[in-house]
């Protein structure tokens, strides 16, 4: 049982990595002039869509969280709507935090927002898939020793690392390697 | 003076020379669109007249005094000159003015009195204008121009130097794009026209006259100078004389020359020996009208002087490519002379001469570039001694703290520290004397600046060390205090450690120093988010543990969705080490207070974001439009007035709550005085005043405020002394401290530019919020609170608009309420205004910690130690890094200004630590009683 779980988890994470790599490579075959840096807006879109769809598909296929009781259709719909609202709110919140960190408020607002969406796709969406729109479960998972299964610890680690990665990503901003040297 | 093997110095080429130096004249003010629009006469002369135009490149530091030195001696001054820029001593190096005076030239000077200080007895007649009233745009220039008509009629002078300051002042106050620049340029154009016409009319058959127009440095896009951006280093250089050929053909872009080239060129033009230390090249077109033989001779003189300078400075000068080139050129020159004397006067000779000319020019260029490279020579020995001492002091203090031994050891240590430091200090000062001596005697050694700073740093270390020893008994190693060491490190501790290490490491990269403000903004933002997470955990998890509250939590779920979500996404590391601690310290906070405390990190974040867009600083994005420039532009005076008034009002409300009645009244009157001072000097307007006609220096108003500052500080000090002598309750002491603090706030309000007043408001606001809502809930220990204050202090240093470049120091703060330049108050006020952010935060820390004495008796001592440690570790490591990077390309433009800033900051830290110790002493006395 445990072995199978771990194998599933490994496959899921490998697929996620693969989808990110593919989102950077594959569009270049269909679209002339596509590069990750050159057309960064498009790449941000493609990458977040890829990761989101993959997450949702994985969730539907693997069903890591055991939800034994059958719920009604209306309940499912409301759950889904709640998830959408939460996702949107997390995008807005990330956007606000990025702006507070110094991103321009009006200029390049699309870039900022797409970055927020990408970050949400890596963090909030996973949580929503795994735990549903249940705040108490979230708090439980993200407090110390709160993870009950390997799925939840994996969720903990990936979310943390996504945010830390975004945080470390700001480090090269002051470097002036893009400009000619001046004395 | 330097005499070549042609013993006689050539005759002068020009009879009268007028040098018009316009301070902060940027190249595009003459050659760009502004020049075409506002300087029609000059443009016409440049395009069609008998003139040569160049762009002269100034070396950083682009500050007036070193630039004047460069123009007149042809050498490259170092960063030490920035410090003495405020009070320039007489120039002892060989220079053009001295040579001219010795040759019997009569020199007249009008303008910036820096010249009068540099060349005290050289001028036949002079009228110096002090350059420090930056807000004065017209009087400084009228003071020069009023002599012009009279002096142009006279015949009793040979060299006239005019130094106009108005443009620089306009740049400082309003920037290069302000509407004031145009009229000023037009005024300058009219002056140039007047001088040129008068020179032409006086010309006799014998010798032509020369008019030189130049700038000492340019200005950056924000209007300041001191750094090395393109706008700051590129200045126009015009030679206008009837001796030159009329410009014909299409207009080409002016050629780039060095600013130091002017000294050699003028020396040749006036028939003087080229000054000894000049690294400049003769600008050939200026002597282009002469015969080939004469031109070659001038070049040979210049090359001879440069190669002599090289011989004096390097033992292996013979292997230098410049020297080799020069020798080759000299040989072909003598061959040419032979041919010439043989009477061979054909076309071939001319072509041959041109070839020799080219060889000479090449040699000169190589010579001066290798000489410029020579400029930085380091006194490695004294630098190493300094570094070793610093590290040793640091290590000893660390060991002491870690061991935390008894008082006897520390007593021995107190005796021992000065004992082993004093001889070392004497050694170092001896080295400084030697290097200064070398400087004066002419060899260009510039390690003095680094010496002075390391010296100051070293000295202060000794101070800190001694202070720390005094309250040795209270001190624990920063992160080893009982609370933290018993459990795992919390996120805040991890962030503090990682942030400090990261910042120190980033000091090794020039870009990170240039953009250091971003590091601090980033760190305080993260700190706020971590604090927010900690607060959420305190508020929600605790409630959930408590079964009684679980129902209310459930009811509130929908409304708190966002907040708890932020907790989830902001967690940096899993773990809830603080849970136990927090449970024990949990207070039942009332509902509204709880929400305010949860919202406060977000409010602080928003405040920081607003401040960030108030002043763009650094290098890369400094040109971006910011709110501060929008406010200071003359169109938005009413907005600025409104903002200033609101800010002053807010300052009053934030400060008054803990003051006594007398101080409250004094504070209110003082802040009114601040506004009327700003109105008097024309920065802001009163609502009833519609035309700003009478602009004064605001001496009365500023002194009125000073009286209140002193009054408030005095009352506070009286309370402090009272609490010490009659051991009254601690409330008297904390009131006293707070009053001193509010006095400092009032002083800062007076010295800050009006658009920076919101910085002060937000500083007070954030301090209040942290104190009331964050620390009260979180129960952090002194170390964490100290580090937070330290980081915020650093961030506010940059929020004020400071940077790690010299250009952003607001010198005008040193002249608030002073009639003329008085050294000590001016330095004190400038330093206070520059470091107001870190100073106010440190003082607030003192206020806070000493008001918490009842809860934690060792808090002040512990805080002091952490503060000293937080400030001294980066400085010590930075000094090591700079020593290692001394051959870095940006050592003078990036690393040394930062070293100066750090040196001054360490002095301020030492003062703060002294205050801390004094407060702690009081307390320890009481405990012993």
Residue A179 lies in a domain: no
| Minimal CA separation from A30 to chain B, in Å | 36
> Given an 8 Å threshold on Cβ–Cβ distance, is B230 in contact with A182?
yes
The string of pLDDT tens digits covering residues B370-403 is 777 665 445 555 556 556 655 555 555 544 443 3
The per-residue pLDDT for range B54-108, each reduced to its tens digit, is 999 988 777 888 888 888 888 776 544 444 444 455 677 788 898 899 888 999 9
Query: Which residues of A are less than 8 Å from B572 in CB distance?
Result: 160, 163-164
On whether the CB atoms of residues B476 and B782 are closer than 8 A, the answer is: no
Q: A178 CA to chain B: closest CA distance, Å?
A: 11
CB-based contact B609 A102, cutoff 8 Å: yes
Q: How far apart are CA B213 and CA B536, in angstroms?
A: 66
β-pair partners for B163? B21, B111
Q: Is A182 on the interface with B (CB under 8 A)?
A: yes
CB contact burial A105-127 (16+ within 10 A = b; e otherwise): eeeeeeebbbbbbbbbbbbbbbb
B160 — pLDDT class (breaks 50, 70, 90): very high
Mean pLDDT confidence for B392-419 = 42
Cα–Cα distance between B787 and B805 in angstroms, integer?
A: 25
Residue of B nearest to A100 (CA): B609
Class of domain B18-279: alpha beta
Counted domains in chain A: 1
Cβ contact B565–A89 (<8 Å): yes
Q: How many helices (H) and strands (E) does chain B have?
A: 40, 8
Domain presence at residue A89: yes
C-beta atoms of B511 and A142 within 8 A: no
* Interface contact B612-A102, CB threshold 8 A: yes
**A100 with B573: Cβ contact below 8 A:** no
- Alpha-carbon separation of residue B908 from A59, B231, B463, B868 (angstroms): 59, 33, 11, 11
Contact assignment for A138 to B544 by CB distance below 8 Å = no
Which of B511, B579, B890 is nearest residue A175 as measured by Cβ atoms?
A: B511
Closest CA to B179 of B855, B635, B725, B797: B635
Domain presence at residue A27: yes
Tell if the CB–CB gap between A100 and B525 is shorter than 8 Å.
yes
Count of CB contacts below 8 A, A vs B? Answer: 98
pLDDT of residue B385: 58
Q: Which residues of A touch B544 (CB under 8 A)?
A: 139
For residues B646 and A73, which has the higher predicted lDDT (pLDDT)?
B646
Q: Among residues 130-169 of chain A, which lie with CB inside 8 Å of chain B?
A: 135, 138-139, 142-144, 146, 156, 159-160, 163-164, 167
- Residue A181 domain-assigned? no
Q: Which residue in the set B568, B577, B618 is minimally distant from A138, CB to CB?
A: B568
Q: How high is the mean pLDDT of chain A?
A: 84
The whole-number pLDDT of residue B472 equals: 39
pTM of the predicted protein model: 0.70
Q: Tell me the H-state helices in B684-815.
A: 699-725, 730-751, 757-769, 776-778, 782-799
B689 CB-near residues (< 8 Å, 6+ apart) = B679
Give the chain A residue nearest B624 (alpha carbons).
A104
Is residue A69 one of the residues assigned to a domain? Answer: no
Report pLDDT for A180.
55
Which three-class secondary structure state does DSSP give residue B209?
coil
User: Chain B closest CA to A28's CA: distance in Å?
Assistant: 33
User: Which chain B residues are within 8 Å of A135, Cβ to Cβ?
Assistant: 557, 561, 564-565
Q: Which positions in chain A touch B893 (Cβ < 8 Å)?
A: 183
Contacts of A163 in chain B (CB under 8 A): 569-570, 572
Best A174, A175, A180 residue to mutate vs chain B (most B CBs within 10 Å) = A174
Query: Any idea which of A80-84, A158-162, B484-488, B921-925 has the lowest mean pLDDT?
Result: B484-488
CB-CB neighbors (< 8 A) of A144 in chain B: 574-577, 579
Determine the residue of chain A that is closest to B527 in CA distance. Answer: A101
Is residue B238 pLDDT above 60, yes or no? yes
- Out of A127, A160, A181, the one facing B573 most closely (by C-beta) is A160
Indicate if the pLDDT at residue B517 is higher than 90: yes
pLDDT tens figures, A29-50: 888 778 777 788 888 888 888 8
User: What band does B728 get if pLDDT is binned at 50, 70 and 90?
Assistant: low
A168 contacts in chain B (CB < 8 Å): none
With an 8 Å Cβ cutoff, are B541 and A97 in contact? no
Spatial CB neighbours of B504, under 8 Å, sequence gap ≥ 6? B873, B874, B877, B878
pLDDT of residue A9: 85
Q: Is residue B830 within 8 Å of residue B900, measured between CB atoms?
A: no
A173 closest CB neighbour out of B518, B540, B567: B518
Q: What DSSP string describes B321-353?
A: HHHHHHHHHHHHHHHHHHHHHTT--SHHHHHHH
Mean pLDDT of the residues in chain B: 77
pLDDT at position B914 over 70: yes
Tell me: cis bond preceding B52? Omega within 30 of 0 counts. Answer: no
Whether A183 shows a pLDDT value over 50: the answer reads no
Residue window 64-83, chain A: list those with CB within 8 Å of chain B.
Answer: none
Within 8 A of B228 by CB-CB distance, chain A residues are: 182-183
Instruction: Provide the pLDDT for residue B370.
Output: 79
Within an 8 Å CB–CB cutoff, is residue A94 touching chain B? yes
Note whether A139 contacts B521, CB cutoff 8 Å.
no
Chain A residues with CB under 8 Å of B573 CB are 160
Q: What is the pLDDT of residue B644?
A: 94
pLDDT digits (tens, 9 = 90+) for B246-305: 777 777 788 899 998 999 999 998 888 888 888 889 998 888 888 888 888 899 999 988
Across the interface, which of B522, B562, B890 has its CB nearest the CB of A89? B562
* A177 belongs to a structural domain: no
| The pLDDT of residue B3 is above 60 | no
Examine residue A163 and state whether it is found in any structural domain, yes or no.
yes
| Domain coverage including residue A100 | 1-64+74-170
ipTM passes above 0.85 = yes
Let me know the angle formed at the C-alpha of B713 by B708 and B715, rounded to the nearest 5 degrees: 95
- Percentage of residues in chain B with pLDDT exceeding 70? 76
Contact at CB, B574 and A156, closer than 8 angstroms: yes
* Per-residue CA distances from B341 to B332, B352, B755, B842, B874 (Å): 14, 14, 72, 79, 69
Q: What share of chain B is helix, strand, coil (3-state, %, to 5)?
A: 65, 5, 30
């Amino acid at each position: 049982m445990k072995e199978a779980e771990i194998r599933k988890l490994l496959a899921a994470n490998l697929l996620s990595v693969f989808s990110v790599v593919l989102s950077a490579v594959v569009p270049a075959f269909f679209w002339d002039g596509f590069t990750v840096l050159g057309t960064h807006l498009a790449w941000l879109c493609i990458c977040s869509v890829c990761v989101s769809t993959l997450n949702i598909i994985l969730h539907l296929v693997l069903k890591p969280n055991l939800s034994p009781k059958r719920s009604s259709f209306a309940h499912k719909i409301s759950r889904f709507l709640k998830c959408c609202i939460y996702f949107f709110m997390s995008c807005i919140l990330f956007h606000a935090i990025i702006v507070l960190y110094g991103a321009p408020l009006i200029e390049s607002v699309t870039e900022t927002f797409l970055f927020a969406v990408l970050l949400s796709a890596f963090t909030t969406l996973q949580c929503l898939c795994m735990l549903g729109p249940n705040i108490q479960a979230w708090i439980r998972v993200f407090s110390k020793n709160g993870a009950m299964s390997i799925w939840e610890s994996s969720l903990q680690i990936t979310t943390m690392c996504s945010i830390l990665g975004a945080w470390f990503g700001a480090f090269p901003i002051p470097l002036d390697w893009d400009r000619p040297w001046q004395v | 003076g330097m005499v070549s093997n042609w013993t006689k110095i050539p005759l002068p080429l020009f009879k009268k020379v007028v040098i018009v130096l316009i301070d902060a004249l940027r190249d595009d003010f003459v050659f760009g669109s502004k020049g075409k629009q506002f300087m029609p006469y000059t443009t016409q002369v440049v395009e069609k007249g008998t003139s040569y135009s160049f762009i002269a490149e100034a070396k950083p530091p682009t500050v007036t005094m070193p630039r004047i030195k460069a123009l007149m001696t042809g050498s490259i001054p170092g960063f030490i000159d920035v410090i003495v820029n405020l009070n320039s001593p007489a120039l002892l190096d060989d220079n053009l003015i001295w040579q001219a005076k010795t040759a019997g030239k009569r020199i007249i000077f009008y303008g910036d009195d820096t010249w009068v200080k540099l060349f005290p007895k050289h001028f036949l007649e002079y009228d110096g204008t002090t350059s420090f009233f930056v807000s004065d745009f017209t009087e400084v220039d009228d003071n020069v121009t009023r002599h012009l008509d009279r002096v142009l009629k006279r015949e009793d002078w040979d060299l006239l130097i005019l130094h106009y300051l108005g443009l620089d002042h306009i740049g400082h106050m309003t920037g290069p794009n302000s509407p004031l620049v145009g009229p000023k340029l037009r005024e300058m154009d009219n002056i140039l026209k007047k001088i040129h016409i008068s020179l032409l009319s006086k010309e006799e058959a014998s010798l032509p006259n020369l008019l030189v127009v130049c700038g000492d440095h340019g200005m950056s896009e924000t209007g300041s100078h001191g750094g090395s951006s393109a706008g700051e280093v590129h200045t126009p250089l015009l030679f206008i004389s009837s001796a030159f050929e009329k410009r014909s053909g299409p207009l080409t872009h002016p050629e780039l020359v060095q600013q130091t080239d002017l000294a050699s060129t003028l020396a040749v033009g006036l028939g003087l020996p080229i000054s000894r230390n000049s690294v400049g090249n003769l600008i050939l077109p200026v002597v282009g009208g002469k015969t080939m033989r004469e031109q070659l001779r001038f070049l040979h003189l210049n090359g001879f002087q440069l190669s002599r300078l090289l011989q004096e400075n390097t033992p292996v000068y013979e292997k230098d490519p410049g020297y080799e080139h020069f020798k080759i050129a000299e040989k072909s020159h003598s061959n040419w002379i032979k041919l010439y004397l043989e009477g061979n006067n054909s076309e071939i000779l001319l072509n041959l001469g041109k070839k020799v000319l080219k060889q000479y020019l090449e040699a000169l260029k190589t010579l001066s570039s290798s000489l410029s490279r020579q400029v930085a020579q380091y006194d490695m020995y004294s630098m190493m001694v300094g570094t070793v001492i610093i590290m040793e002091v640091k290590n000893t203090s660390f060991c002491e703290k870690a061991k935390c031994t008894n008082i006897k050891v520390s007593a021995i240590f107190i005796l021992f520290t000065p004992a082993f430091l004093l001889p070392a200090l004497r050694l170092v000062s001896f080295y400084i004397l030697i290097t200064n001596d070398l400087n004066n005697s002419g060899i260009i050694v510039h390690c003095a600046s680094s010496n002075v700073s390391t010296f100051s740093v070293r000295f202060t270390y000794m101070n800190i060390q001694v202070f720390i020893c005094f309250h040795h008994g209270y001190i624990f190693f920063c992160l080893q205090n009982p609370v933290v060491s018993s459990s795992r490190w919390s996120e805040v501790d991890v962030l503090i450690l990682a942030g400090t290490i990261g910042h120190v490491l980033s000091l090794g990269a020039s870009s990170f120093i240039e953009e250091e403000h971003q590091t601090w903004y980033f760190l305080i933002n993260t700190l706020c988010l971590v604090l927010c997470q900690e607060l959420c955990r305190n508020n929600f998890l605790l409630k959930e543990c408590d079964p009684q509250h679980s129902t209310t939590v459930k009811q509130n779920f929908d409304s708190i969705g966002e907040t708890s979500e932020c907790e989830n996404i902001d967690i940096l590391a899993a773990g809830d080490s603080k849970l136990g601690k927090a449970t024990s310290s949990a207070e039942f906070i009332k509902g509204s207070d709880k929400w305010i405390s949860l919202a406060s990190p977000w409010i602080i974040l928003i405040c920081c974001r607003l401040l960030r867009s108030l002043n763009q600083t650094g290098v890369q994005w400094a040109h971006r439009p910011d709110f501060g420039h929008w406010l200071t532009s003359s169109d938005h005076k009413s907005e600025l007035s409104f903002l200033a008034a609101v800010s002053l009002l807010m300052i009053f409300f934030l400060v008054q709550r803990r003051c006594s009645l007398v101080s409250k009244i004094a504070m209110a009157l003082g802040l009114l005085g601040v506004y009327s001072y700003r109105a008097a000097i024309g920065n802001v307007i009163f609502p009833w005043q519609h035309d700003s006609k009478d602009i004064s220096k605001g001496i009365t108003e500023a002194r009125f405020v000073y009286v209140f500052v002193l009054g408030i500080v005095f009352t506070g000090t009286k309370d402090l002394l009272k609490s010490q002598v009659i051991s009254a309750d601690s409330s008297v002491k904390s009131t006293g401290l707070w009053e001193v603090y509010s006095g400092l706030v009032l002083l800062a309000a007076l010295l800050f530019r009006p658009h920076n007043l919101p910085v002060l408001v937000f500083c007070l606001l954030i301090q209040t919020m942290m104190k009331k809502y964050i620390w009260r809930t979180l129960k952090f220990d002194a170390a964490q609170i100290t580090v937070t204050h330290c980081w915020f202090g650093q961030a506010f240093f940059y929020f004020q608009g400071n940077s790690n470049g010299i250009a952003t120091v607001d010198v005008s703060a040193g002249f608030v309420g002073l009639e003329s330049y008085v050294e000590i108050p001016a330095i004190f006020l400038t330093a206070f205004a520059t470091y107001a952010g870190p100073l106010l935060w440190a003082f607030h820390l003192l206020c806070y910690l000493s008001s918490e004495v009842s809860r934690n008796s060792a808090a002040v001592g512990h805080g002091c130690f952490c503060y000293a440690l937080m400030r001294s570790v980066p400085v010590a490591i930075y000094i090591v890094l700079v020593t290692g990077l001394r051959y870095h390309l940006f050592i003078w433009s990036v690393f040394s200004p930062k070293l100066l800033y750090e040196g001054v900051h360490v002095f301020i830290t030492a003062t703060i630590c002294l205050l801390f110790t004094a407060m702690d002493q009081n307390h320890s006395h009481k405990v012993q009683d």
